């Protein structure tokens, strides 16, 4: 069985020293090993941005696509080969700005994939512009007077879009994050894990210390019931979206793959492409 070391490769990430993304990468590698995957059984599909590079830093199959489209690509991979574990990953700009439409619909569709958002509340690779996750009043190169748009709450959106697994974590909490990714991989359906991942270069507000002060860990509430959508929504609002842990899980709803008529358990990619002459004749007969 593969250990987390086997999910490492020899590529040095081009992230800044201290970037939260390093821990997220480590958590994915540990979670993959903990759930018993071999490197070739995992496909990491990532978007564009600093965090989008992650697919190249993990020893697994990986596709680094185009900005905002990690999710549709990942869903295509899963449809083609449901035997693979598919993780989609990218930044908050990738998933909640340019790719927001896909995020909502991937949640609704509920294919069995895990989406890990590396949320740093800013655009890093383009050197510091506002993100939908930036706080109101947040000053960046593109909002010199402070952002005048309201901050997007991906957790609330996910719940209202019909998400079956919603979690949030903090890159410094490797233990919690690893456990949540494992749970997300095991969840039969779409799992969204939003991870606070401080940008040490361009975000001087949402720093490690700031998160430590503001995060509300759900462990504080021993009675919290993650299967209750109403209390989940309330808790997100009460904590102003700063809660971490497993926020909501619906284990009743089947995954998209399991609801498609005729869709087989075996990977479609392994199926023979040929068509029997009899089947063909039947199709043609409809046009006579």
Partner 1 sequence: MISQLSWKIGGQQGEGVESTDRIFSTALNRLGYYLYGYRHFSSRIKGGHTNNKIRISTYPIRAISDDLDILVAFDQESIDLNAKELRTGGVIVADAKFNPVVPEGIDARLFAVPITKMAEELGTSLMKNMVASGASWALLGLPLEVFNKAVEEEFGRKGAAIVEKNIEAVKLGAEFVLEQAGGPLDEFKLGDADGQQKLFMIGNEAIGLGCIAAGCRLMSAYPITPASEIMEYLIKKLPALGGTVVQTEDEIAAVTMAIGANYAGVRTMTASAGPGLSLMMEAIGLAGMTETPLVIVDTQRGGPSTGLPTKQEQSDLNAMVYGTHGEIPKIVIAPASIEDCFYDMIEAFNLAEQYQVPVIVMTDLQLSLGKQSCEPFDFNSIQINRGKLVEEGPELEQHQLFKRYELTEDGVSPRILPGAKNGIHHVTGVEHDETGRPSESATNRLKMMDKRLHKLDDLFIREGLRVDAPNETPDLLIIGMGSTGGTIDQAREWLTNDGITTNHITIRQIHPFPTEQLLPHLQQAKKVVVIENNATAQLAGQIKMNAGFAEKIRNLLKYDGNPFLPSEVYKACKELD
H/E segment holding residue 170: strand 165-170
- Nearest distance from C-beta of residue 213 to partner 1, angstroms: 37
Residue 46 or 203 having the CB closest to partner 1: 46
Task: Tell me how far, at minimum, the Cβ of 83 lies from partner 1, in Å.
Answer: 6
Provide the minimum distance between the beta carbon of 16 and partner 1 in the complex, in angstroms, as a whole number: 17
Contact 269, 79 (CB under 8 A): no
Question: DSSP assignment, residue 84?
Answer: S
Q: How many other CB atoms are there within 10 angstroms of residue 229's CB atom?
A: 17
d(C-alpha 60, C-alpha 77), whole Å = 14
Q: State in Å, rounded, how far the first CA of the chain is from the last one.
A: 56
Binding mask 242-271 for partner 1 (x = CB under 8 A): ------------------xxxxx--xxxxx
> Which runs of E-coded beta strand occur in the chain?
42-46, 61-64, 85-91, 114-119, 122-123, 129-130, 165-170, 191-196, 216-217, 243-249
Work out which of 62, 90, 226, 241 binds partner 1, going by CB under 8 A: 62
Closest CA to 109 of 258, 262, 251: 258
Rank residues 62 and 132 by Cβ distance to partner 1 and give the closer one: 62
Question: Cα separation of 14 and 122, whole Å?
Answer: 17
- Asked if 221 interacts with partner 1 (CB under 8 A), we say no
Q: Which of 1, 230, 252, 284 binds partner 1 (CB under 8 A)?
A: 284
Select 52 or 245, whichever has its Cβ closest to partner 1.
52
Q: Is 59 in the site for partner 1 (CB under 8 A)?
A: yes
Tell me the window of 38-46, 136-144, 233-241, 242-250 that interacts with partner 1 (CB under 8 A): 38-46
Smallest gap from residue 223 Cβ to partner 1 (A): 38
Angle of helix 100-109 relative to helix 70-80, nearest 10 degrees, comes to 30
Quote the least distance from Cβ 82 to partner 1, whole Å: 10
Closest CB to partner 1 among residues 252, 283: 283
CB of 97 to partner 1, least distance (A): 14
Cα 135 to Cα 197: distance, rounded to the nearest angstrom: 15
Q: Which of 84, 56, 91 is nearest to 70 (CA)?
A: 91
| Strand, coil or helix: 258 | helix
Residue tagged 């008529």 (tokens)? 261
Backbone angles phi, psi at 245, to 5 degrees: 120, -170
By the rule CB under 8 A, 101 interacts with partner 1: yes
Contact 47, 69 (CB under 8 A): yes
For the segment 69-98, give every residue that binds partner 1 (CB under 8 A).
69, 71-81, 83-84
Q: Based on CB atoms, which residue is closest to partner 1, 105 or 204?
A: 105
What's the angle, vertex CA 256, arms to CA 254 and CA 262, rounded to 5?
Answer: 100
Interface pick for partner 1 out of 29, 54, 102, 173 (rule CB under 8 A) = 102
Which stretches of the chain bind partner 1, using CB under 8 A? 9-11, 39-41, 43, 45, 55-56, 59-66, 69, 71-81, 83-84, 101-102, 104-105, 109, 260-264, 267-271, 273-275, 277, 279-281, 283-284, 287-288
């Amino acid at each position: 069985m593969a250990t987390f070391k086997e999910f490492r490769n020899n590529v040095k990430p081009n992230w800044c020293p201290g970037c939260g993304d390093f821990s997220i990468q480590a958590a994915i590698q540990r979670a993959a090993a903990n759930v018993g995957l071999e490197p070739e059984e995992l496909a990491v599909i990532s978007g564009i941005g600093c965090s989008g590079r992650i697919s190249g830093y993990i020893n697994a199959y990986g596709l680094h696509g185009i900005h905002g489209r990690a999710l549709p690509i990942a869903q295509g991979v899963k449809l083609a080969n449901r035997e693979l574990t598919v993780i989609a990953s990218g930044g908050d700009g990738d998933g909640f700005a340019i790719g927001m439409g896909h995020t909502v619909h991937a949640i609704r569709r509920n294919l069995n994939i895990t989406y890990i958002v590396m949320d740093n509340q800013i655009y890093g690779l383009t050197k510091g512009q506002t993100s939908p996750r930036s706080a109101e009043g947040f000053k960046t190169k593109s909002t010199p007077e402070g952002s005048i748009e309201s901050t997007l709450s991906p957790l609330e959106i996910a719940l209202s879009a019909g998400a079956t697994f919603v979690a949030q974590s903090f890159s410094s909490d490797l233990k919690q994050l690893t456990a949540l990714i494992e749970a997300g991989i095991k969840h039969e359906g779409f799992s969204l894990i939003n991870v606070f991942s401080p940008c040490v270069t361009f975000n001087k507000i949402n720093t490690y210390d700031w998160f430590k002060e503001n995060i509300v860990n759900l462990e504080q509430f021993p009675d919290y019931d993650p299967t209750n959508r109403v209390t989940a929504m309330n808790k997100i609002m009460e904590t102003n979206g700063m809660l971490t842990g497993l926020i909501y899980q619906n284990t009743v709803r089947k995954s998209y793959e399991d609801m498609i008529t005729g869709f087989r358990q075996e990977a479609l990619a392994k199926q023979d492409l040929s068509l029997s002459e009899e089947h063909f004749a039947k199709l043609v007969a409809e046009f006579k």
